[in-house]
Amino acid sequence: MASKLTLLFVALALACVCPNAYSYGCSSISLKHLRDQIQICTRNVPSQQYFNPGQTCSAEVSGALRGGSSCSMNQAPALLSQCLKGYSLDGATSQACLKTAIDNGSCC
């Protein structure tokens, strides 16, 4: 009887834990679309021979959203601006572009 009760307890614990194990971060498809949109929005940001700010910041932003506890694309424009400012680049236009794309539903 004790083993049945233990088995029931373990089954209930797994039922509670398993759905939450997969409910964090953004999906890989959403993040790919976000990276593509960031590339589009940063195409006019000055780059150098071995530095593409769109590629670098799209990886940083998608990495931050992937590792988060939830998937809030509304954080992406601020993360993009923060990334560009970290490289001493003006990110206001790129941030507005990404925010508009997210608000319109054309991204992510």
Q: pLDDT by residue (tens digit) across 23-59?
A: 567 899 999 999 999 999 999 999 888 899 999 999 9
- What average pLDDT does range 83-96 have in this prediction? 94
Q: Does pLDDT of 8 surpass 70?
A: no
| Cα 31 from Cα 11, distance rounded (Å) | 33
Q: What are the tokens at 15?
A: 């039922």
Query: What is residue 54's predicted lDDT score, i.e. its pLDDT?
Result: 95
Closest CA to 107 of 53, 25, 40: 40
Look up the pTM and report it: 0.74
- Contact between 62 and 56 under an 8 Å Cβ cutoff? The reply is no
Percentage of the chain with pLDDT > 70? 78
Q: What is the pLDDT of residue 16?
A: 52
Q: What's the CA gap between 54 and 2, in Å, rounded?
A: 59
Q: How confident is the model at residue 20 (pLDDT cuts 50, 70, 90)?
A: very low
| CA nearest neighbour of 45 among 98, 95, 102, 90 | 90
